[in-house]
Amino acid sequence: MAPPMKNPLIILLLVTIVAAVMFKSGESGLVPPKTTVQIVNTLAHHEDVTLHCKDKHHDLGEHTLKFKEMYEFRFKPNVFMNSTLYFCSFWWPNLSDAHHFDIYIQERDACRVCNWHVNYYGPCLFGVCYAWNYTYTPPSADAPALAAVPPNIN
């Protein structure tokens, strides 16, 4: 029989190994899986759209999409502060100034795959369309949860 001190050390070692495997696979629920943001060009006149996305640490560069083409990027959301934010500029021929939009706000977007469709009036996610340069305001504690969702623009 092993001395009493070795049993707790073996148990601690086994727990550490199991936790490490769970963290690495991302299945523990403690470490969120990667989020994918997809942006599809759905401009009605089939024009190319150029976009430039970044967060405060990563510049993803410029990408030009033909009609119905998609650009996507992946990242791990911030586990501790719920503060991941990616923002993009969009422009196309005959547009005098670029449009801007926060394409991923962790507090707003509860999707693992966020599939945005870019239109002349703004981007749409799962049928909810937002105006360009829309500023997200988190709901207050005494306001209904749907108060933060902008009206559907059709």
* Domain containing residue 124: 35-148
Q: Assess if residue 119 is contained within a domain.
A: yes
Same domain assignment for residues 11 and 69 = no
Same domain assignment for residues 71 and 54 = yes
pLDDT tens, position by position, 75-118? 999 888 878 999 999 999 988 889 999 999 999 998 999 999 99
Q: Assess if residue 51 is contained within a domain.
A: yes
Total number of domains constituting the chain = 2
Same domain assignment for residues 58 and 91 = yes
Same domain assignment for residues 22 and 75 = no
Q: Under DSSP, is residue 126 helix (H, G, I), strand (E, B) or coil?
A: coil
Helix, strand, coil: what percent of the chain each, to 5?
Answer: 15, 35, 50
The whole-angstrom separation of Cα 152 and Cα 94 is 25
* pLDDT higher than threshold 80 for residue 135: no
Q: Assess if residue 154 is contained within a domain.
A: no
The whole-angstrom separation of Cα 150 and Cα 76 is 26
Same domain assignment for residues 90 and 14 = no
Q: Assess if residue 80 is contained within a domain.
A: yes
CB-CB contact of 114 with 37 (8 Å) = yes
- Tokens 């403690």 sit on residue: 30
Same domain assignment for residues 11 and 54 = no
pLDDT tens, position by position, 41-76? 999 999 999 999 999 999 999 999 999 999 999 999
Same domain assignment for residues 42 and 89 = yes
The sheet that has 113-119: what strands, in order across it? 70-75, 35-41, 113-119, 122-125, 128-129
Q: Has this prediction a pTM greater than 0.85?
A: no
H or E stretch covering 30: none
Same domain assignment for residues 51 and 97 = yes
pLDDT confidence bin for 147, thresholds 50/70/90:
very low
Same domain assignment for residues 98 and 73 = yes
pLDDT confidence bin for 140, thresholds 50/70/90:
low
pLDDT tens, position by position, 7-38? 777 776 666 665 554 554 444 556 668 999 99
Same domain assignment for residues 58 and 125 = yes
Q: Assess if residue 135 is contained within a domain.
A: yes
